[in-house]
Amino acid sequence: MPELPEVEALAAYLRERAVGRTVDRLEIVAISALKTYDPPPTAVAGLTVTGAGRHGKFLDVEFGSEIHLVAHLARAGWLHYRDAFPATTPLKPGKGPIAVRVRLDDGSGFDLTEAGTKKSLAAYLVRDPAEVPGVSRLGPDALAVDLETFTARVTSRRGQIKGVLTDQEILAGIGNAYSDEILHVAKLSPFALTNKLTPEQLGRLFEAMRAVETDAVTRSVGQRAAELKGEKRSGFRVHARTGLPCPVCGDTVREVSFADTSLQYCPTCQTGGKPLADRRLSRIVR
């Protein structure tokens, strides 16, 4: 799933390539992806792309100063920039990966795509990004908070730090992948409880968050959209590296189920050498 650094990089790429161009046509190819009906997609034709940015993990493309295309790319969503489209006729709504196509006046443009059969990419055409429910509920951006705000936000919710860090209402932008990385750098167990964290641990967590996210943004921005996924993967220490050695201590990276997914961590660096119990597994065994 694209997180803060990837969405930032996609927005930067659009600012470079699309801003200043005029929209020929905005096509909704996957009808179910569009969650709004007013303004209609036809209202975007003829408007200039005036900006691109993000709200947490939501991408925001501005047309004129009147319409925003806000998109949540979900787990398998992505943006593909096309120098040229193979055909000028509108795409027929169908089962393919393309959800939204934006054609620009120079023949280039971009597609919002989603791989797989489970479709959860969500696109919104709105006059104000705050009209998108997921955007209006976002907490402050992870890269915009200072230590004091970070501490207040994180400790406002009692729970396992992995879940609190990835809760978009607490802090916007952090997802499953980079939270694994942040907790590894901070040498904290993903299951540590927020109300038990010491000021020293919270300080370490804050520094780790800034370092991991800033480093990923630096590596991602400037990459072509097509190369971003590889760049993201190559920077990981523990995420998606189950069974491989920890680059810090050499211990084997382990995996445990968490919410509807799984997380990866290093026992030596993060949990005093003790593997975390997999609740889903122990439930089955019992």
Q: Which residues bind Zn ion (CB under 5 A)?
A: 246, 248-249, 251, 266, 268-269
Q: Closer to Zn ion at the Cβ: 199 or 272?
A: 272
Closest residue to Zn ion, judged by C-beta, is 246
Closer residue to Zn ion (CB): 246 or 276: 246
Q: Which is nearer to Zn ion, 107 or 273 (CB)?
A: 273
Shortest spacing between CB 264 and Zn ion, in angstroms: 11
> Which of 102, 238 has the CB closer to Zn ion?
238
Give the angle 39-45-47 at the CA atoms, nearest 5°. Answer: 90
Whether 273 contacts 267, CB under 8 Å? yes
CB of 269 to Zn ion, least distance (A): 3
Work out how close the CB of 178 gets to Zn ion at its nearest, in angstroms, rounded to a whole number. 17
Least separation, in Å, of the C-beta of 97 and Zn ion? 37
What lies within 8 Å, CB to CB, of 195 at 6+ separation is 155, 158
Instruction: In angstroms, give the least distance from the CB of 244 to Zn ion.
Output: 11
Identify the three-state secondary structure at position 98.
strand
Output phi, psi for 129, to 5 deg: -55, -25
**Cβ closer to Zn ion: 152 or 249?**
249
> Among 60, 71, 75, 78, which Cα is nearest to 18's?
60
DSSP state of 54: E
**In a 3-state reduction of DSSP, which class is residue 198?**
coil
